Amino acid sequence: MDALLQFIFSGVTVGAVYALVALGFTIIYNASDVVNFAQGEFVMLGGMITVFAFEAGMPLPLAAVLAVLATAAIGVALNKLAIEPARGAPVVTLIIITIGASILIRGAAQLVFDKQLHRFPAFSGDDPIRILGATILPQSLWVIVGALVVFVGLWLFFTRTLTGKAVLATANNRVAAQLVGINTAWVMTLSFGLSAAIGALAGVLVTPITLVSYDVGVALALKGFAAAMLGGMGNPKGALAGGLLLGLLEALTAGYLSSQYKDAVAFIVILGVLFAMPQGLFGKSATERV
Amino acid sequence: MRNTTASAMALLLALPVAAQAEIRLGASVSATGPAAFLGDPEAKTIEMMVEDINEAGGIDGEQIALTLYDDGGDPNKARTFATRLVEDDEVVAIIGGSTTGTTMSILDVAEDEGIPFISLAGAISIVDPVREYVFKTPHTDRMACEKIFSDMQAQGISRIGMISGTDGFGASMQAQCKDVAGDQGIEVLADETYGPQDADTTPQLTRIRNTDGVQAVLNAGFGQGPAIVTRNFAQLGFDIPLYQSHGVASNAFVELVGPEASQGVRLPGTALLIGDRLAEDDPQYQVVNDYTAAYRERYGQDPSTFAGYAHDAVALMVDAMRRADEIAPDAIRDALEATQGFVGTTGVYTFSPEDHLGLDPSDFRMLEITADGWKQID
């Protein structure tokens, strides 16, 4: 019994990390249909900037805020310098541009920062919380709460605010959106800034658990992307559910079956789900006019 | 065929150059890319040492001209650079190969062209079977396993659980440890793995904890995995010892894990890690502390165990050049093979025609992380 609970705690911790990364994908995807493969680098930047600001003597909360703002600025710059000039290009081209951007950011990070692993202290200490013989670290709760807060925020943004609806409208049909008075260039800038900020926040929350170095972005983006696909790309509900499901699958496989197969089982389930429901668990099937 | 012609040409062209007072040393390490944590300190060490040796008058009055390439951890690039070192840069010796993969590429070129090569990678297959021109400085992971298991025997531990990374280092050490465990009376009851970038390993550790009779846990891996395993180990509140590998023998590991969770962790390390705690009459005292002081002054950080491998490679090569009859590849190779009792940071090297590694498990020191730093326990 305590073993099962431990596996669940582990799965929820890891799942919340995936969910936070997956949530970062949603905004840019909703604004432009582009899957931003530099999302993992935003997470890395959030962690790295916080580490270096903290080690330079800044209080941790201030360092975290600085990291989120700086990363958001980098996200905006990415849009202005790389995505906007190629606006007329097909989505696939834009996705390839984001892959290029991720390589550039990774390379710059190893020069600006360093190539070592880093960590900063957990927000509420490292004393594990014991529940029925199983343990969970306080930082895991921070990550879970962070994922929930971002989820609720995004859900409200897309369903309750005019700006959020403008973002969705831009993705749906850029010309029509412009015709009804939506400043689509601004929507793109906003969506890159917000996505980068969410990525950086994820980095700040998960670093005490996962550690950070200049190259952690790739693996995080891959798992986050898998989680987003599983839940349904572009849907915050899907990102949250997909992330948690992926984390739980991995933990339970590692716990009950074999740790050798945990990634394989997770990906087999993803393939199975996508085979039966190509839009993911919560994705809406697209109806496009031809 | 074209290669032979090219190198014959290169050799002809090289003859007038050799008359100049300059020794050409080549290096290819992985200063960037996935193995940068190995190659970066190695590159720094090689550059620093060559400069220092030149400032002190070089080798018998001849300056060393270093050509250092960054292969980014890519075996194909390493092969290209090794060929370029031999054919274009006309080096008399090569140091490098941060990973086993890049070493294997350089090794072929060195053997074909007859250039002495000291590798900085761990795998036993580099020097077993012995190749004429290939030497290496790091311990093999098999020796690390033997060292850990002898310490376990001394503690009366015979049944263990293993948790290993699925990266190259972890997988290789896992296989080697399981291979030698039986000989040393150790039984591996649980055998778990984790991905190199996994965020949590508590399910695997819970399985080990729930396996009856496990008296200690051994984690084979390096990078962030062992740091996370150690933190999870503390989180789950195990009351048995945790052994780590030489892959994480660094102060950075203790900082990553945190002082509380890292306490009591045991691992085989080199003298480099406990330089300030060595007895002054320890044979390695001088070399370890001189190197650490020089590195710290120049780069503002402590050298890692991997940096020490590069230090020993340069020191061995320079020592061989001093003893060689002439500065030519074959003479250097012969002098290198005749190395006896050379004190490095990793251990005391004695090469022979049958042994191109020159270390044994006793060169490892069994260390434990305590509240006030590393403590040698053997």
What are the residues whose beta carbons fall under 8 Å from the beta carbon of B183, sequence distance 6 or more? none
The answer to whether residue A132 sits within a structural domain is yes
Q: What is the pLDDT of residue A154?
A: 92
Q: What is the pLDDT of residue B149?
A: 94
Tens of pLDDT, residue by residue over A193-250, are: 999 999 999 999 999 999 999 989 988 898 899 999 899 888 889 999 999 999 999 9
The answer to whether residue A242 sits within a structural domain is yes
Can you tell me the mean pLDDT for B128-142?
Answer: 91
Residue A26, chain B, CB below 8 Å: the answer is no
pLDDT above 90: residue B223: no
Collapsing DSSP to helix, strand or coil, B345 comes out as coil
Residue of higher predicted confidence among B377 and B168? B377
- Whether this model's ipTM surpasses 0.90 comes out as no
Tens of pLDDT, residue by residue over A4-40, are: 999 999 999 999 999 999 998 988 888 888 899 999 9
Contact between chains at A209 and B203 (C-beta distance less than 8 A): no
Contact between chains at A119 and B256 (C-beta distance less than 8 A): yes
| Identity of the amino acid at B116 | P
CA pair distance B175, B160, nearest whole angstrom: 15
- The CATH code of the domain at B141-269 is 3.40.50.2300
| CATH number assigned to the domain with residue range B2-139+287-361, chosen from the 4 options 3.40.630.10, 3.30.950.10, 3.40.50.2300, 3.40.50.620 | 3.40.50.2300
What residue segments make up the domains of chain B, in order of their start? 2-139+287-361, 141-269
For A114, the domain range is: 2-276
CB A35 within 8 A of CB A97: no
CB B224 within 8 A of CB A117: yes
Residue B164, chain A, CB below 8 Å: the answer is no
The answer to whether residue A102 sits within a structural domain is yes
Would you give the distance in Å from CA B290 to the centre of its chain? 19
B36 pLDDT tier (thresholds 50, 70, 90): confident
* Residue in A137, A102, A69, A77 with CA at minimum distance from that of residue A219: A102
The answer to whether residue A289 sits within a structural domain is no
Q: What is the pLDDT of residue A105?
A: 95
Question: Any idea which of A180-184, B43-47, B64-68 has the lowest mean pLDDT?
Answer: A180-184
Nearest beta carbon to residue B192 from set A10, A259, A263: A259
Nearest beta carbon to residue A255 from set B195, B203, B261: B203
Chain B interface test: which of A1, A5, A8, A10 (most B C-beta within 10 Å)? A10
B18 pLDDT tier (thresholds 50, 70, 90): very low
What are the residues whose beta carbons fall under 8 Å from the beta carbon of A189, sequence distance 6 or more? A76, A79, A80
The answer to whether residue A281 sits within a structural domain is no
Minimum CA–CA partner of B209 in chain A? A3
CA pair distance B174, B180, nearest whole angstrom: 10
Domain with A153 in it: what CATH number?
1.10.3470
Q: For residue A13, give Cα distances in angstroms to A6, A146, A205.
A: 11, 11, 11
- Joined together, the tokens standing for residue B21 give 């007072």
Residue B228, chain A, CB below 8 Å: the answer is yes
CA pair distance B42, A26, nearest whole angstrom: 42
**Domains B2-139+287-361 and B141-269 belong to one CATH topology:** yes
pLDDT above 80: residue B12: no
Tens of pLDDT, residue by residue over B272-301, are: 888 888 888 888 999 999 999 999 999 988
CA pair distance B33, B25, nearest whole angstrom: 23
Q: How many domains does chain A have?
A: 1
Tens of pLDDT, residue by residue over A95-141, are: 999 999 999 999 999 889 988 889 999 998 888 898 888 899 999 99
The answer to whether residue A284 sits within a structural domain is no
Enter the pTM of the model.
0.84
Contact between chains at A255 and B223 (C-beta distance less than 8 A): no
Average confidence score pLDDT of chain B? 88
Residue B224, chain A, CB below 8 Å: the answer is yes
| B 236-295 near A (Cβ less than 8 A) | 236-237, 252, 255-256, 258, 260-261
What are the residues whose beta carbons fall under 8 Å from the beta carbon of A158, sequence distance 6 or more? A30, A164, A165, A167, A168, A236
Residue A6, chain B, CB below 8 Å: the answer is yes
Q: Which of B123-132, B212-221, B355-364 has the highest mean pLDDT?
A: B212-221
Contact between chains at A259 and B204 (C-beta distance less than 8 A): yes
Collapsing DSSP to helix, strand or coil, A112 comes out as helix
Chain A interface test: which of B197, B208, B251 (most A C-beta within 10 Å)? B197
CA pair distance A230, A224, nearest whole angstrom: 10
Residue B38, chain A, CB below 8 Å: the answer is no
